[in-house]
Amino acid sequence: MSSTPNAGWRTPFLILVAGCIILTLSMGIRHNGGLFLQPMTVAHGWSRETFSFAIAIQNLVWGLASPFAGALADRHGAGKTIAGAAVLYVIGLVLMAQASTPLAFDLSAGVLIGLGLSGTTFAVVMGVIGRHTTPERRSLALGIASAGGSFGQFAVLPVGQMLINTYGWQSALVLLGAGAGLIAPLAYALADGHRPAASSGQSIGEALREASGQKSFHYLFWGYFVCGFQTAFVMLHLPSFLVDAGFSANVGMTAVALIGLFNIFGSFLFGWGGGRCSKKNLLALIYGLRAVVIVIFMLVPLSTVSAWVFAAAMGLLWLGTVPLTNGLVAQIFGLRYMSMLTGIVFLGHQLGSFLGAWLGGRIFDQTGSYDLAWMIAVGLSLLATLCSLPINEKPLQRQAA
C-alpha cells in the first residue's frame, strides 16, 4: 500500500495491522463508558450530570491534546507517542476504579484517560498509515483502520458488560486497564512510522497559518464538531435511555455493540467510496442521513427491534466520517503535518463530544427526558451537511507545485 518501501520488518501492511489493533483496543475500551454510568452513579450517589461531566472532560482533553500528540508523532515518530499515551490510559482506568469523589473522577476518567486517548487513537495512528499509502489507496486504508476502532466497539463492549456482571464495576475497570496496557508493545511496530517529507519544506508555524487561512479547514472542523456531539451523546446516553424506557441493560449494551458492528461495514464502505467519489459529498450524505435516522427513531414506537435497527443504521454512518475527513486533510494540505492538522480538526470533534456527553446528562437532569438532546442532534446534522458542501477538495497550489 505504500508508494515507497519501508525499511526492515515494519512493512506498510504490518503498520496497518498494528494500527488497527491499537485502535481496536483504545476505542473499544473507551466505548465501555456508557456501561458504567448507572452502576457508578448508584454506588456513589452521583447525578448523571456528574458522570457525564467527567466523560465530557475526557472528550475535551482528548481533543485539546490531539494536535500536540500529532505534532510529537510528526517530529519524533509515533512509537514513543503511542506507548507513553498507553501508560496514561492504564493509570487513568485504574484510578477511575478508585475514585470516590467527583474531582477524583474528573481527573482520572476525564484528564488522564483523555490524554491517553489523544496518543492512541486517530490523530497519531491515521497519520502513520496515511504516510505509508499511495493517494489512490489512502482513503481505503484509513477506512480499514477506522473499521478497526469499530470492531473494538463491537468486540470489547460485551467483554466489558461481562466483566461488570461477573466481577463488579471496579474490578472491570482494572481489567480493562490491563487490556489498554497491550497497546504499548504494539506501538513498537509503528516506531519508525514517521518519515520526514522533504517536499514541502514547511515549518509547523507555516503549516498552521496556511491551514487556518483556508475556509475548507474550518468547514472540516465544524462538521467534525457535529459528528462528535452526536457520537458522544448516543454512545454515553443510549444505554440509559433504553433502561429508562424499561429495557434491560443488555439491550442497551447490544445496541451500542451493533453500532460498532455495522460501523465496520460503514467505515470500509465510505473509505472505499472516498477513493472513487467526492469525499465532501459523501460527508454531506452521512450527516444528512443521520438526521433522517434520528427523526425516524423518535417517531416510531420504541421497542427492542426499533432500538437495534436504529443502532445498525447509525453504525453504518458512525465513523465513516473519519477516513473522509482525514483523507481530505491529506488531499488538500499534504502529508508532512497530517497528524498535527488532523489532530486540530479532531479537536472540533471533541469539542462537540464534550457538549454531547455533558449536555445529554444536563438536559436529562433538568427535564427528566432526552427529547431536547435528540432534537439538537437533528438540527446539528443539517448544519454539518451545509458545512460539507462548500469544501474545496483540490490540493493547495503549493502542494501541486
Ordered structural domains, the chain, with CATH: 12-194+204-400 (1.20.1250.20)
Report the distance separating Cα 26 and Cα 87, nearest Å: 12
> Within 10 Å of residue 103's Cβ, how many Cβ atoms?
11
Q: Is the pLDDT of residue 6 over 60?
A: no
Q: Identify the residue whose cell numbers are 499534504.
A: 334
Segment 81-96 shows an average pLDDT of 96
| pLDDT the model gives residue 201 | 64
- Reading the block at residue 202, the C-alpha cell is 514547511
Report the distance separating Cα 382 and Cα 55, nearest Å: 26
Q: Identify the residue whose cell numbers are 482525514.
A: 326
Summarize pLDDT for 159-169 with one digit per residue, the tens. Answer: 998 999 999 99
**Least confidently predicted of 60-64, 151-155, 195-199, 334-338:** 195-199
Q: Which residue has the higher pLDDT, 204 or 14?
A: 14
| pLDDT the model gives residue 106 | 96
Report the distance separating Cα 201 and Cα 198, nearest Å: 6
Q: What does pTM read for this prediction? A: 0.76
Q: Which residue has the higher pLDDT, 200 or 193?
A: 200
Q: Is the pLDDT of residue 192 over 50?
A: yes
Summarize pLDDT for 95-144 with one digit per residue, the tens. Answer: 999 999 999 999 999 999 999 999 998 878 887 887 777 777 777 888 88
- Reading the block at residue 82, the C-alpha cell is 503511542
79 pLDDT band, cuts 50/70/90, is confident
- Reading the block at residue 108, the C-alpha cell is 482520572
Residue of 340, 303, 330, 325 lying closest to 387 (CA atoms):
325
